[in-house]
C-alpha cells in the first residue's frame, strides 16, 4: 500500500457556498490513526468532513481519500463511513432496520447485511432488544450509538465522525473512545470533530486546527505545541521543595511564571525556552538541593493549543 492510497489528501482545497466561505486553501494529509478536527463553531470543520465524505464537491483544489475521488462513487463511498452530527434518521425505522438499509445501500446482499448489522450493533454495545425498537423511542445516547453502528457496519477504511460524543454519558463516552482507539490502532482512518477536547486529546494521534475556514495548525499535539513559540510552555514539576526550585528557576530570565500546586507538592513553571529549561532542571537535579519526582508538560494538549491559537476556551466552542 503506497502513501497515496493510504492517506486522505486535500490539495489547495477551497469550498464556497455562493459568497460564503466554507474552507479556503486547505492543504492537508492525514495518515491512518485518529485525527481530531478542532475549531470553533462555523470554522469549517463540517465542510471539511463533507468534503472528505464526498457530500460536497470542492470549489477549487482536489480531495482524494485513499487515492479515490468521490466521482468514483461505488468504491469511494464503500471506503468511507460517516456519522453526521445531526440527530436525524429516516423516519419509522428500528435501529436494526436503519443499519440494515444502510448496508443494502452499500450493496451488501440481505444475508450479508444481516450478519454485518448484528456485528456492528454488538460492537457499539447496543443490545438486541433495543436494536429492534423504533429509533424514535431511543435515548440520545442510543441514537448516537446507532449512528456509529451505521457508520462502521460496512467495514469502511475511513471513519468520519462529526461530534460523536455529543449526548453520551461518561460510560458510553469511554466505550466509544475505546472503540475509536481500537479502530485507529488497527490502521483505520478515524477523523473526529469534537468539542470535548480533554477526552479526544487522550486518543488523538494528531490534531487539525481550523478557524474561519483556514487551517491554523496540524500535526501531533506535542509537535504543534512546540511550534507555538510565542506562548511560554507550562510544566508541572513534582518535587519536595517547590519554593526553592522556583527561586532557582527565576534566576534565569526565560522563566516567566511560577505557581504552587494546590497540594504544595509541586510547582507550575512557565518558560519561554523549554530546551534551556530542561538543561537547568537537570543541573538542579544533579546538585541534589531539590528532589524532583516528576516533570510533565502541562499545556501541550488540544485544549491549551486551541486557546493559544484560536483564542477561546475549547470546551465551550
Partner 1 sequence: MSVFQHDYRPYEGPTTALWTRPLVLARYGLAEAWGSKITVGLAVLALLPCIVDLVLMYLANNPAAKMLVVGGSKVLEINERFFFGVLETQCWFALVLAAWIAPRLVSFDLGDNALPILLSHPVSRFGYVLGKFIALTLSLSYVTWIPLLILFVYQSYASPVPWAMGHLGIAFGLFAGAAVWIVVLSLIGLAVSSWVKWRVIATGAMFAVIFVPAGIGGIASAILRTKWGLLLNVPVVMSELWQRLIGAPDVFRGKVDLPNAAIVGVLIAASLMCIAVLNARIRAREVVRG
Which is it for the CA torsion 136, 138, 144, 147, positive or negative?
Answer: negative
Residue 146 CA to residue 94 CA, distance in Å, equals 10
CA trace torsion 141, 142, 147, 151 (10° rounding): 100
Residues 121-150 that bind partner 1 (CB under 8 A): 147, 150
In the complex, minimum distance from the CB of residue 290 to partner 1, in angstroms, rounded to a whole number: 34
Considering only 45-53, 229-237, 268-276, 292-300, which stretch makes contact with partner 1 by CB under 8 A?
A: 45-53
Q: Does 244 bind partner 1 (CB under 8 A)?
A: no
CA 216 to CA 45: how far, in whole Å? 12
Largest CA distance in the chain: 73
Binding of partner 1 at residue 64 (CB under 8 A)? no
Of 82-90, 258-266, 279-287, 306-314, the window that binds partner 1 (rule: CB under 8 A) is 82-90
80 near partner 1, rule: CB under 8 A = yes
How far from 181 is each of 34, 126, 204, CA to CA, in Å? 7, 19, 8
Query: Closest approach of Cβ 22 to partner 1, in Å?
Result: 6
Q: Does 171 bind partner 1 (CB under 8 A)?
A: no
What CA–CA distance (Å, rounded) separates 178 from 127? 18
Nearest distance from residue 75's CB to partner 1, in Å?
8
Is residue 155 at the binding interface for partner 1, with CB under 8 A as the rule?
A: yes
Any contact of residue 271 with partner 1 (CB under 8 A)?
no
Q: Least distance to partner 1 from the beta carbon of 301, Å?
A: 17
Q: SS3 helix, strand, coil % of the chain, rounded to 5? A: 40, 25, 35
Contact range with partner 1 by CB under 8 A, out of 43-51, 126-134, 137-145, 235-243: 43-51
By rule CB under 8 A, what count of residues binds partner 1?
A: 63
Does residue 86 interact with partner 1 by CB under 8 A? yes
DSSP 109-154: -HHHHHHHHHHHHHHTT--HHHHTSBGGG--HHHHHHHHHHHHHTT
Residues 6 or more apart whose CB falls under 8 angstroms from that of 313 comprise 303, 306, 307
Q: What angle do CA 17, 23, 26 make, to 5 degrees?
A: 140
* Closer to partner 1 by Cβ: residue 184 or 232: 184
Which of positions 183-242 make contact with partner 1 (CB under 8 A)? 183-188, 205-206, 213, 220
Check binding of 312 to partner 1 (CB under 8 A).
no
Using the CB atoms, write b or e for 265-288: b if 16+ within 10 Å: ebbbbbbebbeebeebbeebeeee
Q: Does 55 bind partner 1 (CB under 8 A)?
A: yes
Among 14, 25, 104, 231, contact with partner 1 (rule: CB under 8 A) = 104
Beta carbon of residue 226, minimum distance to partner 1 (angstroms, whole number): 15
Q: Which residues bind partner 1 (CB under 8 A)?
A: 17, 20-22, 31-34, 41-47, 50, 53-56, 73-74, 76-80, 82, 84-86, 88-93, 101-102, 104-109, 112, 116, 147, 150, 154-157, 183-188, 205-206, 213, 220
Amino acid at each position: 500500500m503506497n502513501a497515496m492510497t493510504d492517506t486522505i489528501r486535500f490539495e489547495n482545497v477551497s469550498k464556497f457556498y455562493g459568497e460564503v466561505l466554507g474552507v479556503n486553501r486547505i492543504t492537508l494529509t492525514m495518515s491512518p490513526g485518529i485525527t481530531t478536527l478542532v475549531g470553533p463553531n462555523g470554522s469549517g470543520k463540517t465542510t471539511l468532513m463533507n468534503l472528505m465524505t464526498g457530500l460536497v464537491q470542492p470549489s477549487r483544489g482536489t480531495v482524494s481519500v485513499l487515492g479515490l475521488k468521490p466521482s468514483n462513487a461505488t468504491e469511494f463511498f464503500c471506503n468511507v463511513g460517516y456519522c453526521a452530527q445531526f440527530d436525524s434518521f429516516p423516519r419509522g425505522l428500528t435501529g436494526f432496520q436503519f443499519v440494515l438499509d444502510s448496508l443494502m445501500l452499500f450493496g451488501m446482499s440481505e444475508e450479508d447485511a444481516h450478519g454485518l448489522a448484528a456485528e456492528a450493533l454488538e460492537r457499539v454495545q447496543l443490545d438486541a432488544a433495543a436494536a429492534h425498537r423504533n429509533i424514535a423511542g431511543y435515548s440520545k445516547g442510543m441514537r448516537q450509538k446507532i449512528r456509529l453502528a451505521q457508520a462502521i457496519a460496512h467495514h469502511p477504511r475511513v471513519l468520519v465522525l462529526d461530534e460523536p460524543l455529543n449526548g453520551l454519558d461518561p460510560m458510553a463516552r469511554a466505550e466509544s473512545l475505546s472503540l475509536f482507539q481500537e479502530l485507529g490502532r488497527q490502521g483505520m482512518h478515524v477523523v473526529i470533530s469534537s468539542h470535548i477536547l480533554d477526552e479526544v486529546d487522550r486518543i488523538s494521534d494528531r490534531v487539525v486546527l481550523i478557524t474561519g475556514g483556514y487551517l491554523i495548525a496540524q500535526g501531533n499535539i506535542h509537535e504543534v505545541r512546540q511550534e507555538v513559540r510565542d506562548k511560554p510552555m507550562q510544566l508541572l514539576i513534582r518535587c519536595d521543595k517547590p519554593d526553592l526550585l522556583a527561586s532557582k528557576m527565576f534566576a534565569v530570565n526565560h522563566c516567566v511564571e511560577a505557581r504552587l500546586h494546590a497540594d504544595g507538592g509541586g510547582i507550575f513553571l512557565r518558560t519561554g525556552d523549554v530546551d534551556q529549561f530542561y538543561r537547568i532542571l537537570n543541573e538542579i537535579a544533579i546538585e541534589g538541593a531539590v528532589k524532583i519526582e516528576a516533570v510533565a508538560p502541562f499545556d501541550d494538549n488540544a485544549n491549551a493549543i486551541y486557546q493559544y491559537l484560536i483564542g477561546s476556551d475549547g470546551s465551550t466552542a
